Structure 1
Amino acid sequence: PYSTNPPCYTVEDSQIHPATQLRIVLIGGRRSDGSPSGKSSIGNFILDQHVFDTSRRTAQSEARQQEVFSRQVTVVDTPGWRWGDSREETPKLDQIEIQNSVHRCPPGPHVFLLVIPISLHFSQRVKASLKQHFELFNVDVFSHTIVLFTAVAQCSDEEVEFKIRRNPVLQWILQQCGNRKHFLNISNGEDRDQVKKLLEKIETLITNNGFRHCPVDRSQGETLRKEMRDLTERASKRFDQVQKQRNKLNKLISGGLQASI
C-alpha cells in the first residue's frame, strides 16, 4: 500500500528545508502477549513509505523524514511499554530510548501521537501505567498529545465513539489530552485523506501552543546517550563472560568424554 517514490531520507541525511515542518513522536504500549501496538505501521502510513520495520518489536527510537502533502514531516518511532505494566517493569534501556525520542527530531517534537488500538481493553492498570510512562518526559506531554485510535479491520467513527463512551479510562486519557483525537484505519492504505486530516489537526495543535515545539534539554540528551553506552557495554561484557564459561564447560565435558573412551 505504500508508494516507492519519492525516496525517504533519514533526518541526518536530509538537506531539505521547506517552509512547513512537522515533527511527530509516536508513543504507546504493546499488548501483554508482546504483540505490537502498530506504531511502526502508523509511521509507514503517515509517511506513505515502508521505512519502519513492522516484523519485529521496536528496540530503539528511530527517525525518518518525508514530504507529505507539501509538508516536511519527521516521524520518530519508539519502543513500546507493555500496557498495564508499571514503569519499573519496563526494561531500563527501553525507558532511556523512549526518553531519547525527543532528541531524534531536533530542535524538538511538535506533537506526540499516543497510538491506541481500538480493539484494546483499557483498565485502571493501563491508566496507571500510562501516567508513569508519561513521566519519563521532562515536559507536559499531555498538552502536546493527540490520541490516535487505530484499527486494522473495518471500523467506523461511530464504533470508536461508542467505545470511548463506554470506557472511563479512555475518557480520562482524552481529557488529559484536551479531547484531541483522530482515527486511522490502516487497513485502507489508499485513503490518504485520513493522513491529511491528521496533519491538519497537528497544525491546529501547534497553533494553539503558540507555534512552540516541546522544549528539549541538550545536556539530558548527552546524559541519555552515555547511559545507553554504559548499559550496552555492561550487557556485552556479561554476554562475553557467559560465552567464556560455556566454552570452558564444553571443553571439560569434551575432555571427560574422550578420557572415558
Structure 2
Amino acid sequence: MASRESRAVIRGSAHRRRRSKERPPNLNDVTPLRIVLLGKNVSENSGVGNFILGRAAFDSEAPADVVERVGGRLKDRHVMIINSPQLLQTNISDDQITQTVRECVNLSDPGPHVIVLLLKHDQCSTEDQECVEKVLLSFSERVYQHTMVISTQEPTETNDILQKIIQKCANRHFSLHKSSSPNDLLQTFEDIVKVNDGQHLECAGSQYLTMEKHATERLSEGLKLNLAVCGSDGTLKSSTSDLILQQTDRRSDVELHGRQISLVELPALFNTHLSEEEVMCQALHCVSLCHPGVHVFLLIIPNAPLNNEVKAEMEEIQRIFSSRINKHIMILIMQNSEHQTELNEETQSVIESFGGRHHFFGPKTQVSTLMEKIEQMLEENRGEFFSTETFLKAQMNKLEKMKKKINTLETYSLSQGNEQKIILSLKLQSYKN
C-alpha cells in the first residue's frame, strides 16, 4: 500500500485531565506492581528482567543508556519493570545519575513499589557501595524501605560490603540460580509492598518532574503534534485517520487541546513485496515526514483475537524500529459499539509488551478522550519524540550486532573441517548480504 499522508490543523483549549496521584493501599490487577531494576550491564539486567516476566522482553544487546519499561504478568500480578542497566556503574557521572534517576521515576509514575539492586559477590567493592548509596539517595531518603538485592551468582566466599548493603535493605536478598522460580521472587516483592502498606515510594525527583511537566505543558500550547498511524490492516488505518479528521470537520479553525496535528500513515511492513531495503526506506520516510519526529505511533488492532498477520506486523514494527519505539506507542483497539469488550490474555500480554498504553476507539468515540491520553503520554515522555536520528541509531546497533556475529562465525570457521567451512561461509555470506 502506498503511503498516504493526511494532515489537519487543530487549535483550541488547553484543558487537560490530571492523573490522580492517589492510589489505593492494596494493589490489585488494575494497578501494576512497579519495579525499578538497577544494575551494571545490559546483559545481566536483561536476563533478570526476562526471568521475572518469563519471556524475552528485554534485549541483551540493547544500548546501555536506554531506560526501558516493559509490562507483563508474574503469576496473577500485573508487573511493570523499569530497566536501567548502567546506573550502578561506578564511573557514571553525577549528571548521568540525576538524569537516569529522573527517567526511572518518570517511567514508574507515581513511584516505584520495589527497587532491585543487581549485585555480584565478587564485584562488590567499597566504591560500589558508595555508588549504590549515592544512586539510592537520589530516589528518596526512605528508599531502603522499598529496596532489595538480587545476586546472580553463587558466592565462593562472603563479601562484607555486599552484606552491609543487604542489611541496609532490611536483609531482603534473593539469590538467583538455575532452580530459582519467579514465583519465589514475587513473594519477596509482595513482602516489601505489605511492609509499606501498599504504598509506592515517594521520590525526591517527583517535584522536579512536576515542574518539568508544567514546563512541557506551557511549551506544548502551540506545538505541532506528530502522529503516525500503523498496523497491518490498511482499511482500519484509513478509517481511523478519517474518524479523527471527520470529528474535527477537517477545518483549520477547529479547537482541540491547542494542538496543530500532523497525521501520517505507515504502510504495512510485513508480508509485502518490498525488499528489506525498501521496507526500511518506507519506515524512515514515514518518520522523516514528521519533523522533528513522531511523538506518538498509533498502532491499530481489531477488537478481536489477534490473527497471525496482526501479530507478525507488530513483531515487524518492533524489529525495524527497535524497542526504542515502545515509549511512543499507543495501541488503539477498534470497536464497532460503545461497549468495551474484555481483552483476552494474549491481547493483554501484547499490549503490555509495548508498554501497556491502549485506548478503545470507534465511530462514536470522542477524539478529545484520545487526546487526553496522548497528552498524558507526552508528559511521561517529557515531549520527546522518535526522530530519524533515533531510527538510524537503532539500525547502527543492529549492524554492530551483525558484525559481532560475523566475527564469531569467522573465528569459529577457522577451526572447522572443509565441509563445515563451506556451510559457515554460506552463512557468513547470507549475513553480509
TM range (shorter): 0.5 to 0.7
- Give the whole-Å Cα distance in 1 for the aligned partners of 2:195 and 2:32: 16
- What corresponds to 1:61 in structure 2? 67
- Give the whole-Å Cα distance in 1 for the aligned partners of 2:39 and 2:129: 12
- TM-aligned CA distance change 1:176 to 1:200, over 3 Å: same
Contact 2:47/2:60 (CA < 8 Å) preserved in 1? Answer: yes
- TM-aligned CA distance change 1:147 to 1:224, over 3 Å: farther
Structure of higher CA gyration radius: 2
- What corresponds to 2:208 in structure 1? 220
* AA partner of residue 200 (structure 1): Q
Contact 2:119/2:151 (CA < 8 Å) preserved in 1? Answer: yes
* AA partner of residue 189 (structure 2): I
Q: CA deviation at 1:91?
A: 6.7
Unaligned runs of at least 5 residues, structure 2:
1-27, 217-380, 390-433
- TM-aligned CA distance change 1:174 to 1:147, over 3 Å: same
Q: Determine whether 1:25 maps to 2:36.
A: yes
* AA partner of residue 117 (structure 2): L
- What corresponds to 1:169 in structure 2? 161
Contact 1:23/1:108 (CA < 8 Å) preserved in 2? Answer: yes
- What corresponds to 2:365 in structure 1? none
- What corresponds to 1:49 in structure 2? 55
- Give the whole-Å Cα distance in 2 for the aligned partners of 1:121 and 1:70: 35
Q: Determine whether 1:132 maps to 2:134.
A: yes
Contact 1:63/1:104 (CA < 8 Å) preserved in 2? Answer: yes
Contact 2:37/2:85 (CA < 8 Å) preserved in 1? Answer: no
Which secondary structure state, in structure 1, belongs to the residue aligned with residue 73 of structure 2?
A: strand
- Give the whole-Å Cα distance in 2 for the aligned partners of 1:83 and 1:177: 19
Contact 2:38/2:87 (CA < 8 Å) preserved in 1? Answer: no
* AA partner of residue 32 (structure 2): Q
- TM-aligned CA distance change 1:218 to 1:99, over 3 Å: closer
* AA partner of residue 70 (structure 1): D
* AA partner of residue 101 (structure 2): I
What is the correspondence of 1:1-261 to structure 2 with a 5 Å cutoff? Answer: 18=29, 21-30=32-41, 36=42, 38-81=44-87, 83-85=89-91, 89-90=92-93, 92-93=95-96, 95-118=98-121, 120-151=122-153, 155=154, 160=155, 163=157, 166-185=158-177, 188=178, 194-216=181-203, 218-223=206-211
- Give the whole-Å Cα distance in 2 for the aligned partners of 1:52 and 1:222: 29
- Give the whole-Å Cα distance in 2 for the aligned partners of 1:144 and 1:57: 27
Q: Write out per-residue CA displacement over residues 116-147 of structure 1, whole angstroms, 9 at most, x where no aligned residue.
A: 134x3222122122222222213422111110
- Give the whole-Å Cα distance in 2 for the aligned partners of 1:196 and 1:116: 21
TM-score by length of 1: 0.63
Which secondary structure state, in structure 2, belongs to the residue aligned with residue 148 of structure 1?
A: strand
- TM-aligned CA distance change 1:147 to 1:82, over 3 Å: closer
TM-score by length of 2: 0.40
- TM-aligned CA distance change 1:92 to 1:37, over 3 Å: farther
Which secondary structure state, in structure 1, belongs to the residue aligned with residue 117 of structure 2?
A: strand
- Give the whole-Å Cα distance in 2 for the aligned partners of 1:207 and 1:102: 21
* AA partner of residue 118 (structure 2): V
Q: Write out per-residue CA displacement over residues 149-203 of structure 1, whole angstroms, 9 at most, x where no aligned residue.
A: 113xxx4xxxx3x63xx32211210111011100112xx4xx5x52101111111
Query: What is the number of residues matched between the two proteins?
Result: 193
Q: CA deviation at 1:66?
A: 0.8
Q: Percent identity?
A: 26
Which secondary structure state, in structure 2, belongs to the residue aligned with residue 63 of structure 1?
A: strand
* AA partner of residue 150 (structure 1): T
- Give the whole-Å Cα distance in 1 for the aligned partners of 2:206 and 2:130: 29
- What corresponds to 2:242 in structure 1? none
Which secondary structure state, in structure 2, belongs to the residue aligned with residue 54 of structure 1?
A: coil
Which secondary structure state, in structure 1, belongs to the residue aligned with residue 191 of structure 2?
A: helix
Q: Write out per-residue CA displacement over residues 69-113 of structure 1, whole angstroms, 9 at most, x where no aligned residue.
A: 01101111014146433xxx4273454123321221232211001
Contact 2:166/2:173 (CA < 8 Å) preserved in 1? Answer: yes
